[in-house]
């Protein structure tokens, strides 16, 4: 951090760099504590704002939500890929219905259906049943 200041980087640039690094990797708790202590010392010297615990918690929750949404999107894409491989195309109504799905358990069920159904009509029926069946929700 000190070196970045010495090389002429401003507060905003340094914070953006640390946000990027924080996004890429999580430090072990001991190293995070050490970094926080060094940051506070430098903050006193340079009057750089400290990221509060509430801001860190909100950021962590945002990353977790992003990971969950990414996993759901991956599951949707697997079902679509299986349908495309099996039937050589995916009807728009099926693709739209899959994009609206927000349950990994339901998407896992639908992936099996995409592999085993004999037709898009049979898959459409399984999709309709899965959407109506509350037992497949997370």
Q: Within 10 Å of residue 130's Cβ, how many Cβ atoms? A: 20
Nearest to 107 by CA among 85, 77, 66, 64: 77
Q: Is 8 part of any domain?
A: yes
Query: Are both 15 and 80 inside the same structural domain?
Result: no
Residue 25 is predicted with a pLDDT of 80
Confidence check: pLDDT of 106 > 90: yes
Residue 135 is predicted with a pLDDT of 46
Q: Is 59 part of any domain?
A: no
Decide if 101 contacts 71 (C-beta within 8 A). Answer: no
Q: Is 62 part of any domain?
A: no
Query: Are both 44 and 94 inside the same structural domain?
Result: no
Nearest to 48 by CA among 35, 58, 57, 39: 39
Query: Are both 134 and 78 inside the same structural domain?
Result: yes
Query: Strand, helix or coil at 48?
Result: coil
Domain total of the chain: 2
Q: Is 42 part of any domain?
A: yes
Q: Is 77 part of any domain?
A: yes
Round the average pLDDT of the chain to a whole number and report it.
83
Q: What is the pLDDT of residues 14-55, one digit of tens each?
A: 878 878 887 888 778 888 888 778 877 776 666 655 667 777
| Calpha distance 70→75 (Å, rounded) | 9
Q: Which domain does 17 fall in, by range?
A: 1-51
């Amino acid at each position: 951090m000190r070196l970045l200041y010495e090389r002429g980087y401003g507060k905003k640039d340094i914070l953006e760099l640390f946000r990027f690094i924080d996004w890429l990797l999580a430090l072990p708790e001991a190293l995070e504590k050490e970094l926080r202590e060094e940051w506070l010392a430098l903050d006193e010297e340079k009057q750089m704002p400290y990221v509060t615990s509430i801001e860190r918690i909100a950021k962590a929750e945002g990353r977790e939500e992003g990971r969950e949404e990414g996993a759901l999107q991956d599951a949707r894409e697997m079902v679509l890929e299986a349908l495309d491989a099996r039937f050589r195309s995916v009807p728009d109504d099926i693709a739209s219905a899959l994009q609206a799905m927000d349950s990994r358990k339901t998407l896992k069920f639908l992936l099996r259906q995409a592999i085993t159904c004999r037709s898009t009509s049979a898959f459409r029926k399984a999709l309709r049943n899965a959407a109506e069946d509350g037992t497949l929700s997370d």
